[in-house]
Amino acid sequence: MTARLRIALDAMGGDHAPDMVVAGADLARERCSNVEFLFVGDEARINALLDRHPALKSISTVRHTPDFVAMDAKPSVALRAGRNSSMRLAIDAVAAGEAACVVSAGNTGALMAIAKFVLKTLPGIDRPAIASIFPTLRGESVMLDMGANLECDADNLVQFAVMGTVFSRTVLGLLEPSIGLLNVGSEEQKGHESIREAAAALRDTPLARNFHGFVEGNDIAAGTVDVIVTDGFTGNVALKAAEGTAKLYSEFLKRTFASSLLAKLGYLLARGAFGKLRLRMDPRRYNGAMFLGLRGICVKSHGGTDAIGFSNAIAVAADMANHGFNDKIRDQLAVLQAALAASAAAKVEADGQGSEAAVQ
């Protein structure tokens, strides 16, 4: 029999935990046939919920702790005082090899701080990044960083490009994902020094064949590229702006169709089409922000999501684990570093030959 993939769940993280966590795991069990779960949290509450899902209970283990990280806790406090929290113990299970990945709907800052402290970063990765999937006119794209690193240098952005490329191949199933650096214009002279240096570096790597160049904010929804690379400050602003715009248009539609009897009739006639639109734009489909660059797989679910959204976050974690995501990042980084070293050596040799020619 194929070995089951064990996923650690922070059962107490999220606005509707642990009910949402258990119900989401049961939905994920139906989608991912090879998984089993380690629930970390209040044993009595979790077991009472598992009793309602016999099939899920048969593939689940519960690790008791009365402690949890509050949604408004400061990351530094959670890191120091939350050593016995459900979030910390779930992450510890990944570090100890007891679980292949961890999923939590808890405090984002605390999850990143604890995961980075416990799991550490992969060789060649200076900083982990938060990645998220965006719906586009062409399908789906991934953007990183979404808020973990407010300031990034050129090396960070190049590493993000590698991680985003591997994620697109692993989770989105794209063979040759295109890469773009989010900027204030598409011209080569636009943007700050770090982003221009990152563009130059990417052109000297094996990723150059898929490097589109600079992209702007309107290219995100257009699906101009498959991997959008940016610093955490810009990425988080773009994410919140997109979420706000989606809510705005949704509210406009509701008010428009409620404005008159004729408008209500029009809605009834177009109800099927609007159902498809609602499904396409349902944020639960894209739930699950990935912490890329760590020595273990960690997925952050939206804190206010329901069982459907949480099950999607679990599915993302399972995909990454089943496809050896971190091993692929290591391989890609090794290729990238070799290419950069060869490019630097060639440049030094060319400069040396130029100096000799000048002397002669």
This prediction has a pTM of 0.83
Does 150 lie in the same domain as 39? no
Does 166 lie in the same domain as 42? no
Average pLDDT over residues 334-344: 73
Does 277 lie in the same domain as 178? yes
Does 242 lie in the same domain as 207? yes
Between CA 209 and CA 159, with CA 223 as vertex, the angle to 5 degrees is 50
Does 360 lie in the same domain as 280? yes
Domain limits at 78? 1-120+294-323
Q: Phi and psi for 270 in degrees, rounded to 5?
A: -105, 15
Q: Which strand (E) or helix (H) includes residue 211?
A: strand 211-215
Instruction: State how far the Cα of 104 lies from the Cα of 15, in Å rounded to an integer.
Output: 11
Does 89 lie in the same domain as 147? no
Does 220 lie in the same domain as 167? yes
Position with higher pLDDT, 276 vs 168: 168
Q: Residue 200 maps to which CATH number?
A: 3.40.718.10
Does 332 lie in the same domain as 302? no
Does 94 lie in the same domain as 45? yes
How many folded domains does the chain comprise?
Answer: 2
Instruction: State how far the Cα of 289 lies from the Cα of 69, in Å rounded to an integer.
Output: 18
Does 309 lie in the same domain as 239? no
Q: What is the pLDDT of residue 341?
A: 72
Does 174 lie in the same domain as 46? no
Q: State the DSSP code for 175.
A: S
Does 217 lie in the same domain as 360? yes
Reported confidence tier of residue 2, pLDDT bands at 50, 70, 90:
low
* pLDDT tens digits, one per residue of 313-336: 999 899 889 888 888 888 877 777
Position with higher pLDDT, 62 vs 356: 62
